[in-house]
Structure 1
Amino acid sequence: MIRALCAAVLVTACAMSAPASASSPTPQPKPATTPGGGCTAITAPPPESAPPTSVNTLRQAYFCVLDNYYSGPVMDAKALLKSAFAAYTQNLMRRGADRADLSLPALTGDRGADWEAFAKVLGAGDPAALRAAITGMVAGLQDNHARWVRPTPPPEGGPTGTGIVGLSAAQGPRLDPAARPPLFITRVLPGSPAAKADIRAGDIVVKANGVPAFIGDTPNQSLVDAFASSTVRLTLKRPTTGRTRVVELKEGPVEERPPAVTSKKLADDVTYVQLPGFYEGAADQVIAKLSDKPKAVLLDLRGNGGGSPREVTRLLGAFAHGKVTSYFCPLKGDCVPNRTDDSVPLLGSRLIVLTDRGCASACEDFSAAVKGNDLGTLIGTRTAGAISGPSEAYLLDDGSVLLLPRIRHLGPAREIIDTIGVPVDHHAPMTALDLATGRDPGVAKALSLL
């Protein structure tokens, strides 16, 4: 399940590299220029086969960050090498392969000279430890839109998994530190191993592979590794009955359908629309569902992991014209305003938006624009706070891809949303019992306001 969420975040970061609109283009990447050749801005899918990860791959990643990351020009490069070296040695230690001669050399701050000293210590390098080093170096940026992706071929016979693709505390590749007990399942794929084991949305996760979901009131991040296993032993509690049971769940064939916009009528002249992501064409799909121009629109963005800023500005154009929706800011120079797509006809509908901690990236861009421009009402819980800035993709020599933001996102009032999230106007969280019984406090609150 966590692996599926990680993949979704990475796809989102790639999609966020698109310009926000024709009138306010995002600064476009330039190929890195580093000694001996660096990374290049990716213009096509990575090659299906490539050499293994090498010391040169790590070198490319190091200079790629310095040349292309938002704060790369002013970054302390020594910190990058320290993060990489720490991850490299930890990987060796976990595998019982530590080396007595492996020590971080003295670093001077000269980016080129420090790399040469660093590489000399590594020697030929260990491929697995080198991959860990790149991962550790990128993680050291502490940026939710910076990722290192190693393309993997699709499995023979189709995708596999447990079928659990939603957790109440999931926030990208980790658990939300602000989440409170209990931890419960929010989505199960039909026909999957989880569904066949009668695991349902709303089931409370007490333990996974013996790891408790919470330590006191703090989410146990070790649960991420448990859910990433091909076999996971779950202790589950059903909120409707209080019954606790243990299920051993093994990966098997799963069918993940492409995301799609769904809608239904809730009351006279009130249309509910669920938008799972700001993927290409999503805005027009939503607008098509509202062709009858209802008096009120209830737009459900819960669990929406983001996507393209172009889709954000286009959908906002159905509810307002002439508004600044956000800003994209370089390290130096003026911020570029993003604006509503005024080519979209106005619906004239009242807008209510449902959000939660799974609403991230472009979803937060949309939510902040609605709140900041007084375009509607937000109901649910504060968004994820995972919107550092749109990422650009860079290819390394082993076929892997670095995703690095070149700019920073600010809200319509130039406010920082990253790591903070967008607050709602009305707090209406979904509980395990709500999911298990089919109740929806967000929808109920929206209808009461209407």
Structure 2
Amino acid sequence: MIRALCAAVLLTACSLSAAAPTPAPAPTSPPKAATLPGGNCTAMTAPPPQSAPPTSVNTLRQAYFCVLDNYYSGPAMDPKALLKSALAAYTQDLMRRGADRADLQLPALTGNRDTDWAAFAKVLGTGDPAALRAAITGMVAGLHDNHARWVRPAPPPQGGPTGTGIVGVSAEQGPQLDPAARPPLFITRVLPGSPAAKAGIRAGDIIVKVNGVPAFIGDTVNQGILDAFASGTVRLTLKRPTTGRTRTVELKEGPVTRPPQVATSKRLGDGVAYVQLPGFFEGAADQVIAKLQGKPKAVVLDLRGNGGGSPREVTRLLGAFAHGKVTSYFCPLEGDCAPNRTDDSVPLLGLRLVVLTDRGCASACEDFSAAVKGHGLGTLVGTRTAGAVSGPSDGYLLDDGSVLLLPKVRHLGPAREIIDTIGVPVDHHAPMTALDLATGRDPGVAKALSLL
């Protein structure tokens, strides 16, 4: 499943991966893949080539047919809706650049995907590359699917990743800021040695304004502030919760070092182990299981901020806590749902389990949490999960080297319940506050220990 935190991570070098299928090793030549019907997009079997032609009208054509042929509900979609979303985004991009065209309007469409595309392409003519990129983005956004993305891979920056170093905020909800978030907006994680760390920014600092714009408009978080972090320089008005001091800091992107994704652990005393898992990356389940071989009586598994990963890692880790259980279902548009089951080759640990979740727990993290709750394998503490678990995505290569990520199936929980857009509710509400972070308190861990 897609790691869904890229938009909220605030790094220019944010990575986005589809965990089904597992990415192949880097090729020595551009990947070869079987041509799919309709739009000539190709199923991804390796990373995209590092050089490719610019985005063209043909790229948009490929994306259009690729969605209709391969997206979960593509075969049943009205192609007119896709073309409407595409042209709306195309014209908006032109208008922003003062380049609108008097002859550019949506032609009469019939609902026949081939004749409609021919009429649409005639209106576009040779097309404007920047507006065509906007059109593909708008067409995919029109699907309203948190696991459907259009990605244009960029070569790694010389000298390594760059960014501000702010890699977590309190209002994270999968790929956006949480519309249900309550004030204040505060920083939850800063990378050591990053520009933010060097500027004295700490976890718990409250973001009052971004480039002079309030983080909240009334009680609603301002989604537009994310755009400010993409400009290379951002001005933050911050409040330190322990002192009440307010200051303004101008941050410029600089080199950052992202630590590798690994499970970390510590003992909380009295036979309770604490394991933090930042994602369901390849090998994640075995890392967690290895941390629990010292025979603790219980484990607090911290999945806060876990943006997801591989469904295979989910079923393997669940296999350490139960056997013979259906963990979730993957359902096509038509036909029977395919059950996912615990990996019963994993020895049972026999431990009491408390899982810490928050709105940053998305995708595969929600898959795991729903199974724990649905089968009574443990207790959930923290806040409701993100509700960003529409279904695992497959990648499709377009002729400009970009990639469409499209789910073929829909995810349902172990009782066939819909979790996408809703999230998994916790058993005990224990949100983290700015003051908690600033003073080193952890209400989630405290509640977990009280339950154990």
TM-score by length of 1: 0.95
Match of 1:15 in 2: 19
Q: Cα–Cα, structure 1 residues 328 and 9, in superposed 2: closer, same or farther, change >3 Å?
A: farther
Which digits, 9 at most, give the CA deviation of each residue in 1:388-439, with x for residues without a partner? 0000000000000000000000000000000000000000000000000000
Q: Cα–Cα, structure 1 residues 65 and 2, in superposed 2: closer, same or farther, change >3 Å?
A: closer
Residue 157 of structure 1: how far off its partner (Å): 1.0
Count of aligned residue pairs for this structure pair: 438
Query: Superposition pairs for residues 181-220 of structure 1, below 5 Å?
Result: 181-220=183-222
Which digits, 9 at most, give the CA deviation of each residue in 1:228-286, with x for residues without a partner? 22100000000000000000110111111211110000012100000000000000000
Which letter does structure 2 place at the counterpart of 1:344?
V
Q: Cα–Cα, structure 1 residues 386 and 8, in superposed 2: closer, same or farther, change >3 Å?
A: farther
Task: Give me the whole-angstrom Cα distance separating, in 1, the residues matched to 2:35 and 2:168.
Answer: 37
Residue 178 of structure 1: how far off its partner (Å): 0.7
Which letter does structure 2 place at the counterpart of 1:33?
P
Provide the aligned C-alpha RMSD in A.
Answer: 1.6
Residue 31 of structure 1: how far off its partner (Å): 4.8
* 1:406 and 2:408 are equivalent in the alignment: yes
SS at match of 1:87: helix
Task: Give me the whole-angstrom Cα distance separating, in 1, the residues matched to 2:411 and 2:40.
Answer: 26
Gaps of 5+ in 2: 1-5, 24-32
Residue 227 of structure 1: how far off its partner (Å): 2.1
Match of 2:396 in 1: 394
Match of 2:373 in 1: 371
- Out of 74, 77, 100, which is 2:76 matched to? 74
Which digits, 9 at most, give the CA deviation of each residue in 1:116-153, with x for residues without a partner? 00000000000000000000000000000000000100
SS at match of 2:114: helix
Which digits, 9 at most, give the CA deviation of each residue in 1:157-195, with x for residues without a partner? 111111011111122332110100000000000000000
SS at match of 2:136: helix
SS at match of 1:417: coil
Q: Cα–Cα, structure 1 residues 252 and 8, in superposed 2: closer, same or farther, change >3 Å?
A: closer
Residue 9 of structure 1: how far off its partner (Å): 8.6
* 1:248 and 2:250 are equivalent in the alignment: yes
Match of 2:165 in 1: 163
Q: Cα–Cα, structure 1 residues 387 and 5, in superposed 2: closer, same or farther, change >3 Å?
A: farther
SS at match of 1:247: strand
Task: Give me the whole-angstrom Cα distance separating, in 1, the residues matched to 2:332 and 2:363.
Answer: 18
Q: Cα–Cα, structure 1 residues 220 and 276, in superposed 2: closer, same or farther, change >3 Å?
A: same
- Out of 287, 290, 294, which is 1:288 matched to? 290
Match of 1:22 in 2: none
Task: Give me the whole-angstrom Cα distance separating, in 1, the residues matched to 2:373 and 2:11.
Answer: 28
Which letter does structure 2 place at the counterpart of 1:354?
L
Gaps of 5+ in 1: 20-28
* 1:144 and 2:146 are equivalent in the alignment: yes
Query: Superposition pairs for residues 423-438 of structure 1, below 5 Å?
Result: 423-438=425-440
SS at match of 2:296: coil
Judge conservation of contact 1:205–1:236 (CA < 8 Å) in 2.
yes
Judge conservation of contact 2:12–2:161 (CA < 8 Å) in 1.
no
Judge conservation of contact 1:84–1:133 (CA < 8 Å) in 2.
yes
Which digits, 9 at most, give the CA deviation of each residue in 1:306-345, with x for residues without a partner? 0000000000000000011000000011001100000000
Query: Superposition pairs for residues 220-299 of structure 1, below 5 Å?
Result: 220-299=222-301
Match of 1:39 in 2: 41
Judge conservation of contact 2:163–2:255 (CA < 8 Å) in 1.
yes
Residue 4 of structure 1: how far off its partner (Å): 4.1
Which letter does structure 1 place at the counterpart of 2:346?
V
Residue 226 of structure 1: how far off its partner (Å): 1.4
- Out of 297, 303, 306, which is 1:304 matched to? 306
Task: Give me the whole-angstrom Cα distance separating, in 2, the residues matched to 1:114 and 1:5.
Answer: 39
Judge conservation of contact 1:5–1:173 (CA < 8 Å) in 2.
no
Match of 2:363 in 1: 361
Q: Cα–Cα, structure 1 residues 30 and 312, in superposed 2: closer, same or farther, change >3 Å?
A: farther
Which letter does structure 2 place at the counterpart of 1:11?
L
Task: Give me the whole-angstrom Cα distance separating, in 1, the residues matched to 2:232 and 2:211.
Answer: 11
Match of 2:28 in 1: none
Match of 2:316 in 1: 314
Judge conservation of contact 2:13–2:162 (CA < 8 Å) in 1.
no
SS at match of 1:246: strand
Q: Cα–Cα, structure 1 residues 262 and 393, in superposed 2: closer, same or farther, change >3 Å?
A: same
Judge conservation of contact 1:329–1:407 (CA < 8 Å) in 2.
yes
Q: Cα–Cα, structure 1 residues 372 and 439, in superposed 2: closer, same or farther, change >3 Å?
A: same
Judge conservation of contact 2:205–2:241 (CA < 8 Å) in 1.
yes
Which letter does structure 2 place at the counterpart of 1:146?
A
SS at match of 1:15: coil
Identity of aligned residues (%): 83
Judge conservation of contact 1:234–1:248 (CA < 8 Å) in 2.
yes
Q: Cα–Cα, structure 1 residues 362 and 257, in superposed 2: closer, same or farther, change >3 Å?
A: same
Which letter does structure 2 place at the counterpart of 1:116?
A
Ranges of 4+ aligned residues in structure 1 off by more than 3 Å: 1-10, 16-19
Task: Give me the whole-angstrom Cα distance separating, in 1, the residues matched to 2:13 and 2:382.
Answer: 22
SS at match of 1:232: strand
Task: Give me the whole-angstrom Cα distance separating, in 1, the residues matched to 2:68 and 2:221.
Answer: 34
Task: Give me the whole-angstrom Cα distance separating, in 2, the residues matched to 1:323 and 1:63.
Answer: 38
SS at match of 2:355: strand
Residue 45 of structure 1: how far off its partner (Å): 1.1
TM-score by length of 2: 0.95
Judge conservation of contact 1:50–1:399 (CA < 8 Å) in 2.
yes
Match of 1:441 in 2: 443
